[in-house]
């Protein structure tokens, strides 16, 4: 089933798989909600394929039944959900399917065959929700048909490189989720600014102590790091004193003016409300 053979040729295309965290969260949620008798859940993966990369953006659970002899997948459910999702995001297509669990099952080959009919080169994602081995591992496979001449012998799952991809705005979400425990309150703007600044300060301290160590001979200097630091520092714009003061004063004045204006408007509304004169025009 799973294996990399030295004799057989590797996959022709250099495909890699990128997963959005949304899909992973949905898979976890689906796993928690599974029916009592089921060991694992399977479902469809939606996404886009661009040259060399399969990007998995969304997924949904498909009910299925499996026993040691046979496996039944609710295809109608899969089709309906796919149509519904198409109406929201027409660009996303079926790119494969996922299953939870520590290892591949025998029936996976059959399911893979079905999905290959839906989408060529469909990807199989194996998410280990049972946390075996103390790690939350995610593997992506593609299937390859082993055949001798015309006769099809079996399907082999070949592992592909996969990584988790963060969109820009998702970073805020995932950072928040990662920093909290079981339940957190979202940070207000000021608090998050303070946290960012603290992190910046820590970084600067680290860099400074490293440089000090190198100068005093306590640590070996790495020329690559040294060059990188020099480059970074040179990017910091350095103005002459009068220039900088002028810039700084102008910006500060702009900010103060905007704050003043907005407070003025707020006061106007509050006053008008209290006096019942909201019918009078703003002079």
Partner 1 sequence: MMSSSALKTVQLDGQVILKIMQHCNEALPQLVTGQLLGLDVGGTLEVTDCFAFPASVADEENDDENAGASYQLDMMRCLREVNVDNNTVGWYQSTNLGTFQTMDLIETFVNYHENIKKCVCIVYDPQRSSRGSFALKAIRLKDQFISLFKEQKLTAKDLRDANIAWKDVFQEIPIKIQNSALVQALTAELEPVTAATQGDLDRLNLSVAPFLEKNIESLLDCVDDLVLEQQKVTTYHKNVARQAQQMTTWLQKRKQENQARRAAGEELLPEEDPTQFKPIPELSLLDNYLISNQLSTYCDQLNIACTQSLQKLYIFESLQK
Q: Site residues for partner 1, window 204-223 (CB under 8 A)?
A: 206
Q: Token pair of 36, please? A: 């009592």
How far apart are the C-alpha atoms of 93 and 120, rounded to whole Å? 11
Site for partner 1 in 57-116 (CB under 8 A): 57-58, 60-63, 74, 77, 80-81, 84, 87-89
- Site residue total, partner 1 (CB under 8 A): 91
Nearer to partner 1, 11 or 255 (CB): 255
- Mark the segment that binds partner 1 (CB under 8 A) among 1-9, 106-114, 142-150, 243-251: 243-251
How far apart are the C-alpha atoms of 233 and 222, rounded to whole Å? 17
Minimum distance, C-beta of residue 110 to partner 1, in the bound complex (Å) = 21
Nearer to partner 1, 99 or 143 (CB): 99
The answer to whether residue 259 forms part of the interface with partner 1 (CB under 8 A) is yes
Give 134-180 as a DSSP string: GS--EEEEEEEEEEETTEEEEEEEEEE-EEE---HHHHHHHHHHHHS
Phi, psi of 262, deg, nearest 5: -65, -40
Minimum distance, C-beta of residue 267 to partner 1, in the bound complex (Å) = 10
Site for partner 1 in 169-208 (CB under 8 A): 169-187, 189-190, 192-193, 196-197, 199-200, 202-203, 206
Q: Token pair of 173, please? A: 């979400």
Minimum distance, C-beta of residue 105 to partner 1, in the bound complex (Å) = 19
How far apart are the C-alpha atoms of 154 and 106, rounded to whole Å? 11
The answer to whether residue 228 forms part of the interface with partner 1 (CB under 8 A) is no
Nearer to partner 1, 10 or 267 (CB): 267
Name the 3-class secondary structure at 278. Answer: coil
Nearer to partner 1, 71 or 187 (CB): 187
Phi, psi of 266, deg, nearest 5: -60, -45
Site for partner 1 in 141-170 (CB under 8 A): 164, 166-170
Of 159, 156, 121, nearest to 140 by C-alpha is: 159
The answer to whether residue 239 forms part of the interface with partner 1 (CB under 8 A) is yes
**In Å, how far are 6, 54, 141 from 9, measured between CA atoms?**
8, 21, 16
The answer to whether residue 275 forms part of the interface with partner 1 (CB under 8 A) is no
| Number of other residues whose CB lies within 10 A of the CB of residue 155 | 18
Site for partner 1 in 4-23 (CB under 8 A): 20-22
The answer to whether residue 236 forms part of the interface with partner 1 (CB under 8 A) is yes
């Amino acid at each position: 089933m799973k294996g990399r053979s030295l004799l057989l040729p590797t996959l022709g295309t250099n495909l890699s798989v990128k997963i959005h965290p949304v899909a992973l969260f949905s898979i976890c949620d689906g796993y928690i909600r599974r029916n009592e008798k089921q060991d694992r859940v399977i479902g469809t993966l939606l996404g886009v394929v661009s040259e060399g990369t399969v990007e998995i953006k969304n997924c949904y659970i498909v009910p299925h039944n499996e026993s040691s002899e046979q496996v039944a997948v609710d295809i109608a459910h899969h089709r309906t959900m796919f149509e519904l999702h198409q109406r929201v995001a027409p660009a996303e297509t079926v790119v494969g399917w996922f299953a939870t669990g520590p290892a591949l099952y025998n029936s996976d080959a059959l399911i893979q065959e079905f999905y290959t009919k839906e989408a060529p080169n469909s990807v199989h994602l194996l998410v280990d929700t049972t946390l075996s081995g103390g790690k939350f591992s995610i593997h992506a496979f593609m299937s390859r048909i082993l055949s001798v001449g015309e006769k099809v012998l079996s399907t082999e799952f070949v592992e592909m490189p996969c990584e988790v991809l963060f969109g820009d705005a998702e970073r805020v979400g995932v950072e928040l989720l990662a920093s909290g425990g079981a339940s957190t309150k979202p940070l207000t703007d000021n608090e998050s600014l303070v946290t960012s600044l603290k992190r910046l300060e820590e970084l600067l301290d680290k860099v400074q102590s490293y440089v000090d160590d190198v100068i005093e001979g306590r640590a070996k200097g790495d020329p690559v790091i040294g060059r990188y630091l020099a480059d970074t520092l040179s990017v910091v714009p350095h103005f002459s004193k009068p220039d900088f003061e002028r810039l700084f004063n102008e910006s500060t004045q702009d900010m103060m003016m905007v704050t003043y204006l907005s407070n003025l408007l707020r006061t106007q509304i509050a006053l008008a409300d209290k006096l019942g004169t909201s019918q009078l025009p703003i002079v």
